Amino acid sequence: MKDFPLLDRREVLKAGLRFSTATLGMGAAGAFGQSVPFAPPDSTKVLGPPPSALGQRSPFETPQKFLRPGTAAAGASFTPLEILHGIITPADLHFERHHAGIPVIDPGSFELMIHGLVDRPMKFTLNDLKRFPATSKICFIECSGNGRQAASLPDGLPEDITPGQLDGLFSVSEWTGVKLSTLLDEVGASRRATWMLAEGQDAAVMGRSIPMRKVLDDAMVVYAQNGEAIRPEQGYPLRLLLPGWEGNANVKWLRRLEISDAPFMMRDETSKYTDAMADGRMRMFTFEMAPKSLITNLSYPYVMQRKGFHEIRGIAWSGGGKIARVDISLDGGRNWARAALQEPVLDKCATCFRYGFDWQGEERIIMSRATDEQCNTQLGYVDNEANRGPGTSYHNSAIRPWKIHADGHITFAMKEVAA
């Protein structure tokens, strides 16, 4: 089997030339063979609307998050990763996971209380918090249940699943707020402090214990998302941000932080978000999200329209730091070659990758594999199952394979790889 290196510029140009020649021959069909569904007026002859007080998407663009049928207050909606470009998730497409719906919180009466093992217990209004030095971080939030369908028995795996439906409990924003280390200086946290409780103001009263090493490293309380006030769905007016750590611990609608010398053993870190291993022991406080990558272009429901140059595109990320490399296999995992990484490559953030190849109508299983700067590598299905244990489906970061069929349609191929 031939190993496919990254195509050089000349090859890409040649392939591009074939591509455009074919397009010319197709008359009214667009670049990907779709016929144009509308007849817009000739914009050069019609006076357009005046500037608006609030911009809108083009009426031809109607993105939606994926909601499973029957989604309720305790439910989730998934980011449509396959339609996004670059690393930032538009705020209204950020995934949502609520345990008891979205509370309405008046920012005027909002207060954050910090108490426990501190010299000066304090309450902070939103304006108080905005007076502290502000910092921003572009990073992902990923639910630790993301992609758990891929942990079910191979027989139960759907083949007609989109990247967003599979792994869309993952989004990236630029978050702005205050470093927790700054606030803990203000209240005078004790040297004996080893844990911090973060508690939300929703009906679930979500509470999680956070180790002090994370609190003092890069944890933040954030009031802004992609340049404006954080959205109600993301925790308005304030959420905890723990870059690279499981979504659940990023407590939304934050109202209370209690400093302590022991974990609090909350419901969401004992009965939930704990992993049962093969020998019956439990892993607790498994916060860091593993390296993972996902092909978002050349995956279901994309259909290859013609032979020739195609670009595999996707995103890779790791809770362990920056992405160091992404490898691509075009033959079900036998041979691997390095994908190009697209700048910016940021800490605990999505990094775009791409890999061009020439498709001549052959059946292929394509895969991507992420490695982070700590040399942690994304595992295949079998190794991932063995590593996490049969009693859990959290933190499923196994390699995601896609099968390109001879007729050009693409399906999720975990079943074939797992078999």
Ligand X SMILES: Nc1nc2c(c(=O)[nH]1)N[C@H]1C(S)=C(S)[C@@H](COP(=O)(O)O)O[C@H]1N2
Q: Which residues bind ligand X (CB under 6 A)?
A: 94-99, 141, 143, 200, 202, 204, 206, 233-234, 247-248, 250-253
Say how far apart CA 197 and CA 263 lie, in whole Å: 8
Nearer to ligand X among residue 99 and residue 403 (C-beta): 99
Buried b (16+ CB within 10 A) or exposed e, 338-375: ebebeeebbbbbbbbbbbbbebeeeebbbbbbbbbeee
Tell me which of ligand X, Mo ion, none is bound by residue 99, counting a contact when its beta carbon lies within the kind-specific cut-off of 5 to 8 angstroms.
ligand X
The tally of CA atoms less than 13 A away on the side-chain side of residue 238 is: 29
Output the smallest distance, CB 94 to Mo ion, in A. 13
Residue 274 CB, nearest approach to ligand X (Å): 14
Please report, as a single letter, which amino acid is at residue 204. Answer: A
Q: Give the tokens for residue 118.
A: 């501190």
Residues of span 360-389 touching Mo ion by CB under 5 A: none
Q: Identify which of residues 78 and 359 has a Cβ nearer to ligand X in the complex.
A: 78
Contacted entry of Mo ion, ligand X, none for residue 399, CB cut-off 5 to 8 Å set by kind = none
Structure tokens of 349?
A: 């953030």
Candidate segments 95-103, 171-179, 366-374, 407-415, binder of Mo ion by CB under 5 A: 95-103
* Shortest CB 206 distance to ligand X, Å: 3
| Cα-trace Rg, the chain | 23
Chosen from Mo ion, ligand X, none, partner binding at 95 (C-beta under 5 to 8 Å by type)? ligand X
Yes or no: say if 287 and 245 are a contact pair by the CB < 8 Å rule. yes
**Tokens for 88?**
């930032």
Between residues 180 and 204, which has the closer beta carbon with respect to ligand X? 204
Residue of minimal CB distance from ligand X? Answer: 200
65 residue type, one letter: K
Tell me if 98 sits within 8 A of 75, measured CB to CB: yes
Q: What's the closest the beta carbon of residue 151 comes to Mo ion, in angstroms?
A: 15
Smallest gap from residue 395 Cβ to ligand X (A)? 12
- Least separation in angstroms between residue 379's CB and ligand X is 22
Nearer to ligand X, 209 or 377 (CB): 209
* Nearer Cβ to Mo ion (237/247): 247
Structure tokens given for 406: 């001879």
Cβ 16 to ligand X shortest distance, Å = 38
Residue 143 or 312 having the CB closest to Mo ion: 143
Kindly provide the b/e burial profile for residues 113-129, where b requires at least 16 CB atoms within 10 angstroms of the residue's own CB: ebebbbeeeeebebeeb
To Mo ion, the closest distance from the beta carbon of 318 in angstroms equals 18
Tell me which of Mo ion, ligand X, none is bound by residue 233, counting a contact when its beta carbon lies within the kind-specific cut-off of 5 to 8 angstroms: ligand X
Does 247 help bind Mo ion (rule: CB under 5 A)? yes
Q: Minimal distance in Å, beta carbon 73 to ligand X?
A: 9
Q: Which of 152, 168, 164, 169 is nearest to 415 (CA)?
A: 152
Contact between 248 and Mo ion per CB under 5 A: yes
Minimum CB distance to Mo ion, residue 233 (Å): 13
Nearer to ligand X, 200 or 237 (CB): 200
* Closest CB to ligand X among residues 167, 327: 167
Rounded Cα gap, residues 380 and 385, in angstroms: 9
364 binds, among ligand X, Mo ion, none (CB under 5 to 8 A by kind): none
Find the angle CA(62)-CA(68)-CA(71) to the nearest 5 degrees: 105
Q: Which of Mo ion, ligand X, none interacts with 149 (beta carbon under 5 to 8 A by kind)?
A: none
Footprint of Mo ion on 129-188 (CB under 5 A): 143
Nearer of residues 202 and 258 to ligand X, judged by Cβ: 202
Q: How far is residue 148's CA from residue 192's CA, in Å, rounded to a whole number?
A: 38
Question: Which partner in Mo ion, ligand X, none is near 164 (CB below 5 to 8 A by kind)?
Answer: none
Name the residue nearer to Mo ion (CB basis): 209 or 377: 209
Residue 218 partner contact from ligand X, Mo ion, none using kind-dependent CB cut-offs of 5 to 8 Å? none
* Cα–Cα distance for residue pair 121/307, rounded to 1 Å: 66
Give residues in contact with Mo ion (CB under 5 A).
97, 143, 247-248
